[in-house]
């Protein structure tokens, strides 16, 4: 295969993709394949000689689709959908063709500058104050790790990077048990240790108790620990738990702690002004992450971190060896210094395409529909015999339980996903097995969402 062959095969791939998306509703959402089935279809050894693209493409068509969980299926209500709007798919094709490494301004001026402008467009779109800047990471996990590393170095006056952590005081981080596991992972990787991530008590509404946060910080200081930072959540992954941002940021500020807010899926909803009370006070945060690859429809991967003052993070993560010096340039933004990896993809392009192709009005309409339809589905589900709503809608996420039994709820979930018309996943809440419903697939319709109560009605009626 060479560059002359690429247009033909690109066209074949585009036709395949269009047909794939057009016919998704005919397929079960969750993969119905057995463990090891796909691997068994591949030769055990790599090919010694070149193979014709026709054979490679043919195998793709027969082997891959049957073994997929269809993330772009309009009835995907599991986890949070990782969306891929057609406009963002097109931008990714172009970014793939360019294949630039956007590590320095010099290595990709267009990527760096479009990224800066997209961050500012999104800042305005989400209603954040003037002054936030930021960057695009591969994932919320990397953004949170970057913020936690910044908390560490800031608390140690940047000694950790040079001296290591062995002789440093023990640092403490604070988050509620509702925050995502990426916070635990960041505490581990940063060398702070998961035992030093204090899980602050929550109130009845599942939000971190600001008084308990203050008490934990004071107690730690008295015990000789060094508090370093607070991680808050807006729309937790499990049930959508949302901290009182204004109150918790005020406590953090009183004690001089760095703050990071994880709004990975819910953050996109803030393009709608009516949802902004959910993160009231957000302008006081040091760092915020949200994933346009979730609810804004921008193809994975695209995680945006807003930063109030980028200098501490750059001081933590930036390294400039001689071979990365940009000779003779006025000081430009070199985005590798804002994050963990050196090499970076041109991710801003798909944001540019998506924001322009749908407009904020088009994206708002989708999110508002999802929130309204989720509430409608919750209402219909709550009326079914044996089903109890365990947590009500936070934006477009609710959970329920069947026959008030872990075993019956788990068995129902298995029946739902074997049925295939919809895809749901589970979590544990208040010690119990519950089923999550999350509406957010870019192309879903009201009819798709109302398939949730329909499937539940069919499957609970059949069950004994
Ligand atoms: C999805 C999600 C994450 C993890 O996102 P990645 O980009 O996959 O790392 C973190 N926090 C919340 C609240 C999420 O919903």
- Give the model's pLDDT for residue 461: 87
209 in any annotated domain: yes
352 in any annotated domain: no
142 in any annotated domain: yes
CA distance 422 to 455: 8
Q: Is the CB of 262 within 6 Å of ligand 1? A: yes
What is the average pLDDT score of the chain? Answer: 96
Q: How far is CA 177 from CA 141, 149, 150, 263, in A?
A: 16, 20, 22, 15
Strands annotated E in 150-225: 171-176, 197-200
DSSP letter, residue 237:
T
Written as six digits, the tokens of 101 are 């490494």
Residue 327: pLDDT band with limits 50, 70, 90 = low
The CA 180 to ligand 1 mean position distance, Å, reads 7
Q: Is the CB of 140 within 6 Å of ligand 1? A: yes
Give per-residue pLDDT as tens, 34-72.
999 999 999 999 999 999 999 999 999 999 999 999 999
Is residue 148 within 8 A of residue 186, CB to CB? The reply is yes
Q: What is the CATH number of the domain that holds 159?
A: 3.40.640.10
Average pLDDT over residues 16-29: 96
**Sign of the C-alpha dihedral, residues 454, 70, 344, 296?**
negative
The CA 54 to ligand 1 mean position distance, Å, reads 38
Say how many domains are in the chain.
Answer: 1
Residue 27: pLDDT band with limits 50, 70, 90 = very high
CA distance 442 to 351: 15
Report which of residues 399 and 464 the model is more confident about.
399
- Give the model's pLDDT for residue 323: 73
Is residue 111 within 8 A of residue 348, CB to CB? The reply is yes
224 in any annotated domain: yes
pTM: 0.96
Give per-residue pLDDT as tens, 127-162.
999 999 999 999 999 999 999 999 999 999 999 999
pLDDT above 80 (res 328): no
- Give the model's pLDDT for residue 383: 96
41 in any annotated domain: no
444 in any annotated domain: no
Task: Name the strand (E) or helix (H) holding 438.
Answer: strand 432-438
- Give the model's pLDDT for residue 221: 97
The CA 10 to ligand 1 mean position distance, Å, reads 32
Residue 407: pLDDT band with limits 50, 70, 90 = very high
pLDDT above 60 (res 119): yes
Question: Which residue in the block uniquely carries the two structure tokens 């370093």?
Answer: 228
108 in any annotated domain: yes
Q: How far is CA 239 from CA 48, 277, 382, in A?
A: 51, 18, 16
CA distance 424 to 438: 8
Q: Is the CB of 138 within 6 Å of ligand 1? A: no
Strands annotated E in 182-300: 197-200, 226-233, 258-262, 287-290
The CA 448 to ligand 1 mean position distance, Å, reads 24
Full residue range of the structural domain in which residue 327 is found: 101-345
* SS3 state at 150: helix
Give per-residue pLDDT as tens, 264-304.
999 999 999 999 999 999 999 999 999 999 999 999 999 99
Residue 462: pLDDT band with limits 50, 70, 90 = low
pLDDT above 90 (res 321): no
Is residue 456 within 8 A of residue 387, CB to CB? The reply is yes
Percent with pLDDT over 90 in the chain: 96
- Give the model's pLDDT for residue 329: 61
Q: How far is CA 259 from CA 134, 207, 231, 288, 318, in A?
A: 15, 16, 6, 8, 20
* SS3 state at 187: helix
- Give the model's pLDDT for residue 330: 67
**Sign of the C-alpha dihedral, residues 39, 41, 45, 47?**
negative
CA distance 147 to 313: 7
273 in any annotated domain: yes
């Amino acid at each position: 295969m060479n560059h002359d062959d690429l247009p033909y095969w690109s066209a074949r791939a585009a036709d395949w993709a269009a047909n794939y998306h057009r016919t998704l509703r005919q397929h079960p959402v969750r993969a119905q394949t057995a463990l090891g089935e796909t691997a068994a279809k591949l030769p055990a050894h790599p090919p010694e000689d070149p193979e014709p693209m026709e054979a490679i493409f043919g195998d793709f068509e027969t082997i891959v689709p049957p073994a997929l969980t269809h993330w772009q299926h309009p009835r995907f209500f599991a986890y949070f959908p990782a969306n891929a709007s057609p406009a963002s798919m097109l931008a990714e094709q172009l970014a793939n063709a360019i294949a630039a490494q956007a590590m320095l301004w010099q290595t990709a001026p267009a990527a760096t500058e479009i990224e800066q402008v997209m961050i500012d467009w999104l800042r305005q779109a989400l209603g954040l104050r003037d002054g936030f800047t930021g960057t695009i990471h591969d994932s919320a996990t990397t953004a949170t790790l970057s913020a936690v590393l910044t908390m560490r170095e800031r608390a140690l006056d940047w000694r950790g990077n040079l001296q290591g952590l062995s002789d440093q005081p023990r640092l403490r981080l604070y988050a509620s048990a509702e925050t995502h596991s990426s916070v635990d992972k960041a505490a581990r990787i940063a060398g702070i240790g998961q035992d030093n991530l204090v899980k602050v008590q929550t109130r009845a509404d599942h939000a971190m108790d600001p008084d308990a946060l203050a008490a934990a910080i004071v107690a730690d200081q008295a015990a000789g620990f060094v508090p370093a930072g607070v991680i808050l959540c807006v729309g937790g992954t499990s049930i959508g738990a949302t901290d009182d941002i204004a109150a918790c940021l005020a406590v953090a500020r009183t004690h001089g702690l760095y703050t990071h807010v994880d709004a990975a899926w819910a953050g996109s909803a803030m393009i709608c002004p009516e949802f902004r009370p959910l993160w009231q006070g957000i302008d006081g945060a040091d760092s915020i992450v949200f994933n346009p690859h979730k609810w804004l429809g921008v193809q994975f991967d695209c995680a945006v971190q807003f930063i109030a003052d980028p200098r501490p993070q750059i001081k933590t993560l930036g390294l400039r060896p001689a071979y990365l010096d940009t000779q003779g340039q006025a000081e430009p933004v070199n985005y590798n210094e804002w994050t963990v990896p050196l090499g970076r993809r041109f991710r801003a392009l798909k944001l540019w395409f998506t924001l322009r192709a749908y407009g904020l009005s088009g994206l708002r309409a989708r999110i508002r529909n999802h929130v309204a339809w989720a509430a409608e589905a919750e209402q219909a589900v709550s009326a079914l015999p044996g089903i109890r709503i365990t947590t009500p809608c936070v934006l477009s996420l609710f959970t329920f339980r069947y026959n008030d039994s872990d075993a019956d709820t788990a068995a129902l979930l298995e029946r739902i996903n074997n049925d295939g018309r919809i895809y749901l996943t589970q979590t544990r809440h208040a010690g119990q097995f519950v089923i999550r419903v999350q509406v957010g697939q870019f192309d879903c319709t009201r009819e798709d969402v109302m398939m949730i109560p329909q499937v539940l009605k069919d499957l609970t009626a059949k069950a004994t």
